[in-house]
Chains A and B, each alone.
Chain A
Amino acid sequence: MRYIPITCEQREAMLRAVGISEVNELFVDIPESVRLTGGLDIPSGMGEIELTSHLRALADRNRSASTLVSFMGAGCYDHHIPSVVDHVMRRPEFFTAYTPYQPEVSQGTLQAIFEYQTGICELTGMDVANASMYDGATAFVEAAFMAARVKKRTKIVVSSAIHPHWRRTLETYADAGVIEPVFVDCDGDVTSLQGIREAVVGAAAVMVASPNIFGCIENLAEIGEIVHEAGALFVVASNPVLLAVMEPPASFGADIVVGEGQSLGSAMSFGGPGLGFFACATRLVRSMPGRLVGRTVDIDGNEAYVLTLSTREQHIRREKATSNICSNHALNALAAGVYLAAVGTEGLSAIARACIAKAHYLRTRLLEVDGFSAYGDTAFGYEFAMRFNGDVATMQRTLLSRGFLAGVNLGSLDAAFDGVVLFAVTEKRTRFEIDSFVEEVASL
């Protein structure tokens, strides 16, 4: 393929206009010793027919969860994506634009993001949401950095019941010394309240996920009290679909709410791109990372949207910025906005209720057969953990051969969770599929 429209003749004319005879004269500033003269060792280009079949062959070497009966979640979910979402995403005026730095010709992106921000505020109960972060893990880390900045303390108390990838990400960022995480152990399938009480002294923030990595709902009311008594910020990671039917973290005094937003209209796509959502209380907005869209008027008095409070950001504040983030996940935020409009309040609640009911049905049925036992008994949403008495990987391989993705092996994410399987059940699963799955499990 070739995406260059300049003809040979035009190229000659352009060279003449520049006053040279050969294009290599433009590369004279490159020291001769490091000029690449032999070309790149990359196979020759392909035409569209060959290219498409090459890509298709690669894609066909994957078994797509969306074509199997999948009970996998752990931060990436097989929710239904209404057709309308991708049709909006494919409008080139959206996806071929960049950051809306010229608001007069970017009202589409700006308004869509403003509406996305509104949806996240509605779900989380928080006052402000930014225009997106990369993913849930980096949003979580940014919340820790923000808390450290706000409180001028480095200690961050973190639940051990968070996603192991998030924990690993937080630990990586912590190596720079800007934050010092202290992990609080679990008490069964939830974070130990006593552990939080002991660790919270002198902390900038306490960070929990609810639902946590076992799918369980943490006691946010009580944790919130402990945190605020100690003068720390309360950071809660949440699941945006569940928030349709679950009391939002704001009601328990959360100061910052973050999470993975892939469930809202982004494909699983092997784990990316999804988006990180990030919301906080108004009083903290000037310490917030990321872009914000605000509403204002133009000189004719028309309502219009613009990037605002940018003095927090890297292009203005440089080393004093609230984050280094520049490109974010705007297109996924657009998808989330379209998704929320497509399902609406009742629709999202119904989806959440369906997921919850199906997850509870699966768990009840699994408890009736041999092999799995309860990991704990705390209330959960549409994801739950179970112990398997046997080799998890072998069990999963057998069930895969019968067309099922039998949950996520938590032991493969963190050795501390060996033997624990996490099941997620979305609205896409039918009773028939669940029953068939349980039958297969029973026959193992």
Chain B
Amino acid sequence: MTEQLAHTPGGAPNRGPREAIYELGGAESTCVLPPELDVPEVVLDEALGGVARTRALSLPHVTELEIMRHYSHLADMNFGVDSGFYPLGSCTMKYNPRVNEDACRLEGFSGVHPLQSTETVQGALELMYRLQEALAEISGLPGVTLQPAAGAHGELTALMCFRAAHTASGDPRKKVVIPDTAHGTNPASVTMCGYDTVTIPSGPDGLVDLAALKAALDTDTAAFMLTNPNTVGLFDPQILEITEAVHAVGAYAYCDGANMNAILGKTRPGDMGFDALHINLHKTFSTPHGGGGPGAGPVCVTPELAEYLPSPIVALLDDGTFVPHDPSRTIGRVRSFFGNFGVLVRAYTYVRALGGEGLTEVAEQAVLSANYLKERLKTAYDLPYDRVCMHEFVLSGGRLKREYGVRTLDVAKRLLDHGFHPPTVYFPQIVDEALMIEPTETEPLSALDAFADALIAIAHEAATHPDTLHSAPHTTPVRRLDEARAAREPILRWTAPEK
């Protein structure tokens, strides 16, 4: 093995594995004291109709300091955007502004119950209404629901609207077409909505193969789902022909808006002929990813489809009051209450912080930064689609694999030693040994350069010291994991060691 790199991800103290919180403290340890009872005690089993708990319950027994130490240790083993460069393609890991965090914690937002009468929640409803307006403007699609909890939920919501609209016109359809570059949630949403998925191959240029699309489209097609810019980072220049072909068979054109960051203020899915779009607020609109969520996946649609949107949406009455409103032919609810309101507050704060010009600048810088990185990396790795990219681009590690037996996985793991979070790897599946790199607009040039230097150094290292890559990472809190064992004998919860 060659030299170990000095710094660890995020510069965090290199802390190793930690015992489970269930192993800490003693039976007597407590953190929050239970409330004093100021009303008559009840006999539990009587009150509960004879089903008081008989099974033992074993939650942690810890003090507040032990909790903070435990989670500080866990946090130190974690890598977030604040730890370092996080170019995870398709995920838009931009900086999460702190003012957003403060806004959503204002008691007038965080302490509101969703079933309070509308006159007591005018501020919350107004915020939702203003966000609907902003997303309508940004997307070019005037009907907006803020209900979906994530992108996948938005996809499904839109498909349900398509189904309802086709059914209403007496023409229920059976299938949905997607390109082979589609994110896995697209076909999974198709199945949940009761349609069959038809996957079409992309052209050699990574774009929609128009002939294949036309061949797949027929009057049984409910929709075509396209991520545009797509998942190899390209804006499909045939977009107008695509949406026209979809409409020609009476199908709907759906835009997976995971990549909206590239086109904010530059063009709008509604103008391109899309009928519906989801936006991931946790990507484009800077709301934090939370270690996997929560996000929000608002859906924007044409006026025709707006009457099918899930209930409720927020409407403004002539007298200036905001009310929850059920669209006339609503598909119904897709979840409880009003959506992930806390996430909506953050996104709204972001929109107002940046304004229209600021949002446009976001797209411009995100795209420029991606093209800059692409230029810096395109000789050290293979660039399957050599043209102007949008906010992200895909490299192939195929050459390293062929020549040195080093896989993209090894490259990704070695990046960890350099203090960077790896790009998205092995997606999209049409690119061999894919590395999908999305820098976002919030990274300084020095970070882009340091990352490029590291990836280039790793490509050289693949030739000289392939074993160092095979065994990477070397400096992280834990090393490569035995994933096969995890799946073979799943241990999915903590249990007390047998005495």
Closest to A36 in B: B267
In the bound assembly, the distance between CA atoms of A134 and B196 in angstroms comes to 25
Beyond the given pairs A271-B337, A325-B150, 11 more chain A to chain B contacts, judged by CB atoms under 8 angstroms and listed by A's residue number, are A4-B441, A27-B367, A56-B108, A80-B35, A92-B96, A98-B88, A102-B416, A106-B79, A113-B291, A330-B293, A341-B60
Does A64 lie within 8 Å of B485, measured CB to CB?
Answer: no
Given contacts A14-B369, A309-B490, A405-B113, are A354 and B35 in contact (CB under 8 A)? yes
A323 to chain B, nearest CB (A): 7
Binary contact track A1-38/B, C-beta < 8 Å → 1, others 0: 11111100011011101110001011111110111100
B35 near A350: Cβ-Cβ < 8 Å: yes
Q: Assess the A135–B335 pair: CB atoms within 8 A.
A: yes
A43 touching B294, Cβ below 8 Å: no
Query: Contacts A65-B113, A300-B479, A356-B42: A4 and B30 contacting too (C-beta < 8 A)?
Result: no
Measured in the bound complex, the distance between the Cα atoms of B342 and A344 in whole Å is: 27
* Residue numbers in A under 8 Å from B311 (CB-CB): 168
How many residues on the A side are at the interface (Cβ–Cβ under 8 A)? 213
Q: A233-255, CB under 8 A of B: which get 1 and which 0?
A: 00000000001111110110000
Given contacts A59-B107, A93-B75, A11 and B481 within 8 Å (CB-CB): no
Please state if A294 and B492 are interface contacts (CB–CB under 8 Å).
Answer: yes
Query: Pick the contact of B149 from A57, A76, A273, A320 — CB < 8 Å?
Result: A273
Interface residues of B in 359-391 (CB under 8 A from A): 359-362, 364-365, 367-369, 371-372, 375-376, 387-388
Question: Quick one: which of B58, B156, B364, B471 contacts A122, CB cutoff 8 A?
Answer: B58
Size band of the B side of the interface? 35 or more
Q: Across the interface, do B160 and A357 meet the contact criterion of CB distance under 8 Å?
A: no
Question: Which of B67, B82, B271, B369 contacts A6 (CB under 8 A)?
Answer: B369
Q: Are the CB atoms of B490 and A168 closer together than 8 Å?
A: no
A343 to B53, CA, bound (A): 18
Contact (A247, B52) CB under 8 Å given A325-B150, A345-B57: yes
Flag whether B173 is at the interface (Cβ < 8 A): no
Give the shortest distance, in Å, between A257 (CB) and chain B (any CB).
13
Task: Digitize A50-64: 1 where CB-to-B-CB distance is under 8 Å, 0 elsewhere.
Answer: 011011111111111
**Cα–Cα, bound, A215→B366 (Å):** 51
Which chain B positions have C-beta within 8 A of A131? 292
Q: How many contacting A-B pairs (Cβ < 8 A)?
A: 726
CA distance A228 to B330 in the complex (A): 36
User: Beta-carbon contacts of B61-93 to A below 8 Å, as 1s and 0s?
Assistant: 110100110111111111111110010100101
B51 adjacent to chain A (CB < 8 Å): yes
Question: Would you give the shortest CB distance from B388 to chain A, in whole angstroms?
Answer: 5
Is the C-beta of A390 less than 8 angstroms from some C-beta in chain B? no
Contact B478 A304 (CB under 8 A): yes
Mark each residue of chain A from 332 to 353: 1 if its CB lies under 8 Å from any CB of chain B, else 0. Answer: 1010011011111111111101
Chain B residue nearest in CB terms to A61: B123
One of B88, B155, B362, B372 near A17 (C-beta < 8 A): B372
Q: For the complex, give the distance between the alpha carbons of A236 and B169 in Å.
A: 38
**Given A40-B360, A319-B188, residue A94 in contact with residue B80 (CB < 8 A):** yes
Which single member of A217, A320, A324 contacts B51 (CB below 8 Å)?
A217
| CB atoms of B117 and A14 under 8 A apart | no
Tell me which residues across on chain A come within 8 A of B50, comparing CB atoms: 379
User: Is residue B349 contacting chain A, with contact meaning CB distance below 8 A?
Assistant: yes
Pick the residue among B79, B112, B235, B487 that contacts A30 (CB under 8 A).
B235
Instruction: Let me know if B127 and A58 touch, CB within 8 A.
Output: yes
A-binding segment of B210-218, B236-244, B245-253, B400-408? B236-244
Indicate if A128 sits at the interface (CB-CB under 8 A). Answer: yes
A-B contacts, 16 of them at CB < 8 A, read: A28-B388, A34-B268, A39-B356, A42-B134, A58-B109, A84-B68, A97-B81, A103-B481, A104-B413, A107-B78, A108-B74, A168-B333, A173-B192, A268-B114, A330-B293, A343-B34
In contact, A324 and B59 (Cβ under 8 angstroms): no
Instruction: Please name the 8 residue pairs, one residue from A and one from B, whose CB atoms are nearest each other, closest first.
Output: A271-B337, A379-B49, A59-B108, A271-B114, A350-B34, A66-B111, A61-B123, A331-B290
